[in-house]
Structures are given as structure tokens and as C-alpha cells.
Chains A and B, each alone.
Chain A
Amino acid sequence: MMQFLQNLGASTRTSFTKLGRATYFLIQTLAGIFSILIRPRLLMNQMFSVGVLSFLIITISGLFVGMVLGLQGFYILSDFGAEESLGIMVAASLVRELGPVVTALLFAGRAGSALTAEIGLMKATEQLSGMEMMAIDPIRRIITPRFLAGFLSMPLLAALFSAVGIIGGQLIGTGLLGVDDGAYWAQMQTQLDFYDDIINGVIKSVIFGFVTSWIALFEGYDAIPTSEGVSRATTRTVVNSAFSILGLDFILTALMFGDN
């Protein structure tokens, strides 16, 4: 019993010190934002490797998710004779939920794990210490641009995901299952609310972008500088990001759509 309490205390303390380190890390990262604005090139390069290189996986996944929504939505709605509402059903599911959430999950797997591995290996090969000794702050030079890039790419990728998904739903709905093309788009236009749906979706993906980039970069920066340490950190990035995304999604949804 005593042993159990001791272990519990020790692990609680470890988690809290880690949380403290993570917060300090975040503050330092944010403090570097100004210096990035002077050198937008650093940000551009990272936007490319974090954002642009995730395009393909996001587009393909968005297309398939949209197509599945089209199929499932049609079967349910046609029971009520409401096939015309397929457009709004697909669009609302994507913009409110699936766009931000699935994009963030894919992002954590594709870009987040890569960021952790990159930073962890830079630490393991002393590149970060080397930079410090050259009087260059690795947080400003390496971490902040990657953080900003992740944070800014996420809403764009989520918008891409939703847009492609809506087209996927249309391909199936109107192309294959014979829903009226005009109704698909018209219902969407009239029913989808700019603030309630679109802005809330964007807010979600901005928050997910913030959290996933933070987790990925911190896990890399805090990794034990060995191959095993980096591999564990990469796993933790994907697992912790997924938990945070899904947990936060529930909270945000409750806050945003709770009063409807």
C-alpha cells in the first residue's frame, strides 16, 4: 500500500514537472514569434514541409470520407424521403466535426510524428547544443517556425479536407445515387450558417493545430537523446495528440453547439 502511494506520488510529480517544462517551452516558443515575422522565409520553408507535403493525404482522405458520408447519408435520408438534404448533411458533418478532427488526427500522424522525430534526432546528434554554442537560440531558429507553420496550416488543411469531402459526397450523391444536383448545393447554401458552422469549425482546427504542434515539438525537444528515446517520443506524440484532439473536440462541441 505504502509502495503504491509512493509510486502514485512519484508519477504525479513527474507528470506535473513535465507539464511545467512543456508550459515553459511553449512560452519560449511564443516569445520567438516576433523574430520570425522579420524573417518570413523560415516560416515559408516550414509551411512547405509541414503543410504542403500533407496535401495529398488530406485530399485523398477527404475525398473518401465525403464519399462514405454521401453513401451513408443517402441511405438514412432516403428512408425519410429527405434525399434533398444530403448536401447539408454532408457539409455540416464535415465542416463542424470531421474536417477539423480527422485532419488533426491525420496531421498528428503525418506531420506531428515527423516533427518529433526531426527535433529528437537534432537533439540526439547535438545539433541543438551546437546551435546554442554558436549563440543561436534553437527555440527561435528551429522550434518557433515549425510551431507557427503547424498552427497556420491546420485550418487550411481542414478547409481543404471539407471542400474535397463535399465534392466526394456530391460525386456519390448526385452522380451515383441520383440526388438532384441543384438541391444538393441549394440546401447547403441556405442551411449552413457562416458563424455557427464555418467559424466554429475553423476555431476548432486552429486549437487542434496549436495543441498538436505543441505536443509534437515538445516531445521532440524533451526526448531522451537516443534512438530509443526518440522512437518513444514519436509514439507519445501520436497517442497524446489523438487523446487531446478527441477530448478537446468533445469540450469544444459542447461549448459551441450545446445551446442549439
Chain B
Amino acid sequence: MDNSDSSQNTLVSVRNLTFSRGNNKIFNDISLDFERGKITAIMGPSGTGKTTLLKLIGGQLYPEKGIITVDGENVHRLRRKELYELRKRMGMLFQSGALLTDMNVYDNVAFPLREHTHLTESMIRSLVLMKLQAVGLRGASLLMPNELSGGMARRVALARAIALDPMMILYDEPFTGQDPISMGVLVLLIKALNETLGLTSIIVSHDVCIFIIQPKTMWMIYYPLENGIEVMLGYAIANPTYAEQNFS
């Protein structure tokens, strides 16, 4: 009973995950959950494996041990086609933006729509402009990626990540390089996506801004040992009012 209830509410679950890069053990038998329809934050010092965790969830890296399920499906057991179907329902915002440099902002946002849907060009146009508007970059649609600042590029990447209306978005450091205004735009957008569309959001960030979003849960990744060999993960702040008291 308890079990089925928790799987209802858990969109992503990580169980006994162990992962190494060479001799460097990045995760040692960690388990954590991400709730459906909620915002979960992951914090931790640079180089502890936050990006790595997102890539494991997205099925780009394979764990040595352990199981990661997304929406009830074991990510690393799926066939290639099933994995791609699952990824259509996940958006990922890369730390670097990862925009395609040979096309302009408009085509970048239109790219997943053109690849995965059969919408007419006019429908794609209105969708793309809507998503760009949402990140406050409608006016930049004709710029090439090399003409964007780092912060702008990341917002375009966000517009692209939400183009297919995914059920979940993995944000890797969305706030770095944003000025206070665009940071505000992003915070409101992430919250709005979560509240109005019920999107599950996993946000990696070490910006205090994360507290304004009031994540439901927060996971800390940190090195418990001075020499930093073993990585522990799983210190949760399950009380959202904590953030409110301190930061609003």
C-alpha cells in the first residue's frame, strides 16, 4: 500500500546508485527521490557530481550499480527507442546552453518541434514566439548563438527545453550569468511552469535565488571527508517554510 502510494508521487527515483569516473568514486550507494509535480533543488559545491547526476537521470551515463527510474521506467534498461520516447517527455537545460551554433535562436527553439511533430510552419512559428516570449527573448529570435550572452543563451536553451511541453525539466544551473531582471523572469517562469502545468522540476543551483522558488525538497551533495573521496548525498530540507522564513 505504502509502496504504490510512494511510486504514485515519485517521478524519479534513484536507488543505491554507485558511479565512478576513473578511480574517482562520485556516488557511493546513494538513494533519493524526486516528487511528481514538485520542484526539487540539488545543491552542493562545484565538482561534486550534480551535472553527473542529471546526466545519469537522462540516460546519458550508465551507473555501475543501482537503479534509476523515471515515471516508472528503468532508464538504463530501456531500448534505445523507448529511451528516446521517454526523453521527449523530459527537457534538460544544459549548464552551457548547448545551442546549435549553425542556426539562429528561432530555429534552435523550433528544432525539436520540427524533428518530432508534423506541425505546420505557422503553428511552429506561434509556438516558438510564445516560448521565446516566456523567457523574455522574443526580440532576439534572429540572432545567432554566438551573438548571445551566456545568460541569454541559457534562456534560449530553456525556451527550447519547454518547446515540446515536457512533463519534467532538469535545470543545470539556470541562474548563473543572469542579471537580476532576467533572474526574476526565470524564477517566475520556473514557478509558473510548475504551478500552472504541473511540471516536475529538478533544479541544480548554488544561487540563493533557489530559495525564492521555494523548492519542496532540497538535496545537498557534499563531501563528508576532508580528502573528498567518498561522496554522500541526501540531506533533505523537507520543509518549504524554511525558505520562506529566511528569504522573503
Q: How many residues of B contact A (CB 8 A)?
A: 23
Please state if B98 and A135 are interface contacts (CB–CB under 8 Å): no
A118's nearest neighbour on chain B, judged by CB, is B102
Classify chain A's interface size. 10 to 19
Please state if A133 and B101 are interface contacts (CB–CB under 8 Å): no
Interface residues of B in 105-135 (CB under 8 A from A): 111-112, 115-116
Within 8 Å of chain B (Cβ to Cβ): is A141?
Answer: yes
Please state if A125 and B96 are interface contacts (CB–CB under 8 Å): yes
Please state if B98 and A129 are interface contacts (CB–CB under 8 Å): yes
- Evaluate whether A127 and B88 lie within 8 angstroms (CB atoms) in the complex, with A132-B60, A135-B116, A141-B115 already known: no
Within 8 Å of chain B (Cβ to Cβ): is A130?
Answer: yes
Contacts of B91 in A (CB 8 A): 133
Within 8 Å of chain A (Cβ to Cβ): is B75?
Answer: no
Please state if B85 and A135 are interface contacts (CB–CB under 8 Å): yes
Within 8 Å of chain B (Cβ to Cβ): is A1?
Answer: no
Please state if B101 and A127 are interface contacts (CB–CB under 8 Å): yes
Contacts of B94 in A (CB 8 A): 126, 129-130, 133
Interface residues of A in 102-130 (CB under 8 A from B): 121-122, 125-127, 129-130
A169-187 interface code vs B (CB 8 A; 1 in, 0 out): 0000000000000000000
Within 8 Å of chain B (Cβ to Cβ): is A193?
Answer: no
> A133-B94, A136-B112 are known contacts; what are 11 more A-B pairs with Cβ within 8 Å?
A125-B96, A125-B101, A127-B98, A129-B94, A130-B98, A133-B58, A133-B92, A134-B87, A134-B112, A136-B116, A141-B115
A and B contact pairs by CB, cutoff 8 A, 29 listed = A121-B101, A125-B101, A127-B98, A127-B100, A127-B101, A129-B60, A129-B94, A130-B94, A130-B99, A130-B157, A131-B100, A132-B87, A133-B60, A133-B90, A133-B92, A133-B94, A134-B111, A134-B112, A134-B160, A134-B164, A135-B84, A135-B85, A135-B88, A135-B112, A135-B116, A136-B115, A136-B116, A137-B84, A141-B115
